[in-house]
Amino acid sequence: MTSLAATPLAAVGEVGKGFIHERTGETLPCQARPNHLFCWDWATENIHRYGTPTLQQFELTVISVLIGFAIAFVLALLARRFRLLQWPLLAGTGILFAIPSVAFFLLLLPITGRGRETAIIALSAYTLQIIYRNVMQGLANVPESAKQAARGMGLTDRQILWKVELPLAIPEIIGGLRIATVSTVAIATLAVFAHAGGLGTQIYSEANLTFPTAIILAGGIAMLMALAFDVVFLTVQRFATPWRRVEAV
């Protein structure tokens, strides 16, 4: 049996030396280094956490743009029929668009409560100005000669609207939808302040505010979503305006 006296004693400061060395700046995982911009390992291991927020962001965007388009389209048709409404409606939608995003969400909370409905109301309101203006611009750009030709063929005003004016206004209308949708994707990240979910839960999370990787990942997903929406609208416009393809040739 080995004598205890023969066992060499550790020098002062040697106990735990390896433990301390393993946690220097060179060996810490990247998420523990405040100056590390993006951690690929963390991103690949935690990407599943962004599935539900991404779906929530998508739903908020689609529902809000559809509601906003329906309202703005009706307002534009009313303004086309009653010219005196054009500027009051433009000013009214402009006032809604000028309200700061976070303030809009917080102002709605006492009225509509926390949840997705509050976020959808605010996001839909932000699309009105863009879509309304573009629909009006599209209708205004329809050549008078095209409308006169339609009248000469015996078409009524309603038929001219649906068969001549709106088809020719499609590029401007879709242009408005593109801008409104991309901006809605961005503003929808603030829906977290209305407790409506979305990618903002990952951006404004208290645990992630000092962790750039989580913020960059959420922002990157939002950018890809906006790009995907833009590509979809461009494709729809291409197939909805075949005469433009002929002109390009």
Structural domains in the chain plus CATH codes: 44-242 (1.10.3720.10)
CB of 234 closer than 8 Å to CB of 164: no
pLDDT tens string 181-222: 999 999 999 999 999 999 998 888 756 667 788 888 999 999
Band (118; pLDDT cuts 50, 70, 90): very high
pLDDT tens string 230-249: 999 999 998 888 876 655 55
Of 14-23, 99-108, 112-121, 180-189, the poorest mean pLDDT is in: 14-23
In this prediction, residue 24 carries a pLDDT of: 47
Of 12-21, 68-77, 108-117, 132-141, the poorest mean pLDDT is in: 12-21
Most confident of 36-50, 58-72, 193-207: 58-72
In this prediction, residue 207 carries a pLDDT of: 61
Q: Which two tokens mark 234?
A: 């461009």
CB of 211 closer than 8 Å to CB of 33: no
In this prediction, residue 244 carries a pLDDT of: 66
More confident residue, 19 or 27: 27
CB of 166 closer than 8 Å to CB of 125: no
Is the pLDDT confidence value at 228 over 90? yes
SS3 of 51-68: the string is HHHHHHHHHHHHHHHHHH
Helix (H, G, I), strand (E, B) or coil at 211: coil
In this prediction, residue 66 carries a pLDDT of: 97
